[in-house]
Amino acid sequence: MKSMILKTTLELFKGDGVYWTDHLDRSRLASRSYRLSNGSNRVSRIGTIHCKRLSITKTGMHGGTKARAVLSPVSDPAASLTKKRVFTFGKGRSEGNKGMKSLLGGKGANLAEMASIGLSVPPGLTISTEACQQYQVAGKKLPEGLWEEILEGLSFIERDIGASLADPSKPLLLSVRSGAAISMPGMMDTVLNLGLNDQVVVGLAAKSGERFAYDSFRRFLDMFGDVVLGIPHAKFEEKLERMKESKGVKNDTELSAEDLKELVEQYKSIYLQVKGQEFPSDPKKQLELAIEAVFDSWDSPRAIKYRSINQISGLKGTAVNIQCMVFGNMGDTSGTGVLFTRNPSTGEKKLYGEFLVNAQGEDVLTEMQARAIFEAAASMQDQGVTVLPEIMVPLVGTPQELGHQVDVIRKVAKKVFVEKGHTVTYKVGTMIEIPRAALIADEIAEQAEFFSFGTNDLTQMTFGYSRDDVAKFLPMYLAKGILQHDPFEVLDQKGVGQLVKMATERGRAARPNLKVGVCGEHGGEPSSVAFFAEAGLDYVSCSPFRVPIARLAAAQVVIA
């Protein structure tokens, strides 16, 4: 016992009536006191006594009794309070610091540190990794009281920036990002431009220009639909490419404000077509759903696989960083980029960065990633090591989508080769993991120099099963003979397998020397390996522990 709280009965129990107090066991930290008012059946809470093992056990009728002292032992005054889960930051002040990575994640801890030393950090808040852990334990629901804490933190941002969420006259837009204690680049989810709806976009347009406002809105509709509601990005990309084709332009930046207004309406119609519901226009609901999506991404298959491959364990979850938006898509005088205190390729201690003009954060990702690959390959070549990189673009649904990424990659390659003074031979290909991509493989092969079938995702999308939920019903399906095998372990040759065969045939019809393989656990399952060999695939890849099985299966196919 570290301290004592001394209160009189009158201080604790004011008014007439009968009082009682809950007993405590060793696991609870707080007791509750109630009053049953005279002539009423309504029970109301009037006070809380904090203690570790002791509590008031009986008070009796208060009327006519003398005031008496009640001792309530507590182990620590701070321990009785709800543990802090939301930490705000802004220029010159923050509630966290760089030493709190396990609680705030790397991004949140560093934002807090930069704010506290006076750097111009846009105001924001960080929801702790412990809150993510509580969310998972609660069955993927926001833990009790957390939403109220988030709204309190949001009010800090609004006061600091002088704008408000959902206010068209002073619109506040937010970014919602993940941030674990150990960096997991690209593995978890991000939402930008949150807070836009039909009313707010008009207010934003009046302040900052129509083209910028509607460009931000169409970006938000795309990203929110993809990340939060699971609407394939390809659905939005297809609308964008058709719009550019109809207007006779090549780049997004060439579309006018009126074009973007029309595109926004087309994007909203996708919500109805795919989800059967309208785009959620309430900014606070958008925020709640985005936070849940970031928490959910902690347990996404790609994040789990990344942690497994990199032997990352013991983390509580991801923090969520909510911050006032800073815009790079306001014209040729703005941009987005990344900056390092060391050269990421050589480790040299000097500032290193790159940027794109008139763009937002998601636009630069393909270019930080492609440059790193080419610089690393060139560096190895300088050391006498021959490297033949193959750059693979995932989740492609249209040839235009792949073409856009291929253009970016090849532009970066040219820049790096000029800087380095020599070239590197490379290929650009794609993962076929969306059924639509398999059906139009001949068109995609015009851009792709190789295919790699992502059979895990292709199986998920072909069956319509979620790998997160399949364990709940798959045992019953197998027991009742609805399925003969787990389709995520043994390739479904009649369905998914036919897509693989079709895509291989169509792809090679367009590009005869197309290299084709498999990336997924099916690459280490003997009957699946035999099927891939029959379909004419060049290789399989799988997790390390399945390699011996895959090699044996491949050898048996050759000698059969």
Query: What DSSP line would sit under 21-80, residue for residue?
Result: E----TT--EEEEEEE-TT---EEEEEEEE-SS-------B-TTPPP-EEEEEES-GGGG
Length of the chain: 560
Rounded to whole angstroms, the Cα distance separating 507 from 441 reads 5
Of the pLDDT bands very low, low, confident and very high (cuts 50, 70, 90), residue 60 is: very low
Q: What percentage of the chain exceeds 70 in pLDDT?
A: 82
- pLDDT per residue as tens digits for the range 443-492: 999 999 999 999 988 998 899 887 667 888 988 999 999 999 999 889 99
97 or 37: which carries more pLDDT confidence?
97
Pick the CATH number of 86-197+282-324 from 3.30.1490.190, 3.30.1490.20, 3.40.640.10, 1.10.530.10: 3.30.1490.20
> Is the predicted pLDDT of residue 315 greater than 50, yes or no?
yes
Secondary structure of residue 191 in the 3-state scheme: strand
How far apart CA 27 and CA 479 sit, in angstroms, is 42
24-33, 121-130, 319-328, 532-541, range with the lowest pLDDT: 24-33
Whether 274 contacts 159, CB under 8 Å: no
For the chain, the domains span 3-80, 86-197+282-324, 335-559
- What pLDDT score does 361 carry? 62
| 81 vs 94: CA distance, rounded Å | 20
| pLDDT tens-digit map of 5-14 | 333 333 333 3
Domain 335-559, second-level architecture: Alpha-Beta Barrel (3.20)
pTM of the model: 0.59
Question: Which residues pair with residue 194 across a beta bridge?
Answer: 174
Distance CA 431, CA 519 (A): 8
| Per-residue confidence band for 549, with pLDDT thresholds at 50, 70 and 90 | confident
How far is it, in rounded angstroms, from Cα 6 to Cα 3? 10
pLDDT at 288 over 50: yes
